[in-house]
Amino acid sequence: MYTLIDSADLKAIKKIYEFFPIDGVTTNPSILKNAGTNPMERLKEIRAFMPHGAQLHVQTVSLTAAEIIKEAEHILKELGENTYIKIPVFDQGIKAMKLLHQMGINITATAIYTPMQAFIAAKAGASFVAPYVNRLDNVGFDGVEIARLIHDILTRHNMDTMVLAASFKNTQQVLNLCEHGIGAITASPSVLEQLINHQMTESAIEDFTNDFFSVAGEDKTMLDL
């Protein structure tokens, strides 16, 4: 399961990258707004920091297919290889996806709330389709269930498209999709950090450390023996 950071906070991205096995970064216009700086400058900083080959997903904001395509070309020129053009699912967006796919450009279809939106985007050539799990939960639907259904539909139709589940509030939502074999998730730094935190683990580490110190001496490690 590709695991991506849904953030444009460079400090938080660097911290997660230091400790976690991460495949890239996703952004959207709201995330870039929260970063409080020039969006393209921030995206370039993220691209410069990430390892070679990492995915960077960047959203277009134009409302016509022709403009979306121009934006996509500009984004790719500025941010280079392995940049995925995120396009919301609406009629002009789907038209742009078809054309960009013919041009060999990587596409992530976003703002997905229904399985059929995902299916049509996949047929139009999207490499990833991004259902908004928590936002679905917030309006009375089961976001995890919809993401699973999309995964099953894409698998059953042998489509070359993965689910990139997005908009998570907690680790349980991530677990439920991981268990289902989903292709990719993107989550905020705080949700990602929670994936490895457990009070019992911290307590076990503390006990092991204290036991070792009591037999080998304070602040010793295996290197001292």
Active-site residues: which are they? 86
Helix axis angle, 91-102 to 65-79, nearest 10°: 50
- Report the candidate in 117, 115, 77 with the shortest Cα–Cα distance to residue 97: 117
The residues in 55-84 that bind ligand E4P, with binding defined as CB under 6 A, are: none
The residues in 10-49 that bind ligand E4P, with binding defined as CB under 6 A, are: 26, 28
Indicate the residue among 29 and 217 with the shorter CB distance to ligand E4P: 29
Identify the three-state secondary structure at position 57. Answer: strand
- Residue 146 contacts ligand E4P per CB under 6 A: no
State how far the Cα of 98 lies from the Cα of 104, in Å rounded to an integer: 10
Instruction: Identify the residue among 166, 182, 184, 191 touching ligand E4P (CB under 6 A).
Output: 166
State the binding string over 186-205 for ligand E4P (x if CB under 6 A, else -).
x-------------------
State the binding string over 101-140 for ligand E4P (x if CB under 6 A, else -).
---------x-------------------x-x-xx-----
Residue 223 Cβ vs ligand E4P, minimum distance, rounded to whole Å: 43
- Residue 177 contacts ligand E4P per CB under 6 A: no
State how far the Cα of 131 lies from the Cα of 110, in Å rounded to an integer: 7
State how far the Cα of 178 lies from the Cα of 185, in Å rounded to an integer: 9
- Residue 7 contacts ligand E4P per CB under 6 A: no
State how far the Cα of 129 lies from the Cα of 89, in Å rounded to an integer: 9
State how far the Cα of 107 lies from the Cα of 86, in Å rounded to an integer: 6
Based on C-alpha coordinates, what's the Rg of the chain?
20
Binding residues (CB under 6 A) for ligand E4P: these are 6, 26, 28, 110, 130, 132, 134-135, 166-167, 186
